[in-house]
Amino acid sequence: NAGVMQNPRHLVRRRGQEARLRCSPMKGHSHVYWYRQLPEEGLKFMVYLQKENIIDESGMPKERFSAEFPKEGPSILRIQQVVRGDSAAYFCASSPIKGTGMNTEAFFGQGTRLTVV
């Protein structure tokens, strides 16, 4: 059973380009969470999705960022018109049930390191 798969592992974009980050949850998991980690900081919650639904996007910047988790395929975090401040590691986690409220650990992917030049 493969873990949470994120790709690409590293992504370099020029300012103004679009970045697409993909996350395939663990088999049987239908809940996906995206977190962002700035250098020397902890992870910050961005968005929580279930299949075809955005449940909570309170941690997402209001502009340029969007996320989806279609019925088929991976979850996508999309950043339009990237700026240098978007440079960070973006982690995806999945769980089989809602959040960790049932004392279930969240399984994290290896992350995508985005560098904006």
Partner 1 sequence: SQQGEEDPQALSIQEGENATMNCSYKTSINNLQWYRQNSGRGLVHLILIRSNEREKHSGRLRVTLDTSKKSSSLLITASRAADTASYFCATDAYDYKLSFGAGTTVTVRA
Please report whether residue 36 would count as binding partner 1 according to CB under 8 A: no
Integer-rounded Cα radius of gyration of the chain: 13
Region from 19-27, 51-59, 67-75, 76-84 binding partner 1, contact rule CB under 8 A: 51-59
Region from 15-23, 60-68, 70-78, 92-100 binding partner 1, contact rule CB under 8 A: 92-100
Tokens, residue 74: 């991976």
Contact 69, 51 (CB under 8 A): yes
Smallest distance from partner 1 to CB 112, Å: 10
Please report whether residue 40 would count as binding partner 1 according to CB under 8 A: yes
Please report whether residue 106 would count as binding partner 1 according to CB under 8 A: yes
CB nearer to partner 1: give 28 or 72.
28
- State the CB neighbour count (10 A cutoff) for residue 96: 14
Q: Which residue has the tokens 């900081």?
A: 41
Displacement of CA 108 from its chain's centroid (Å) = 10
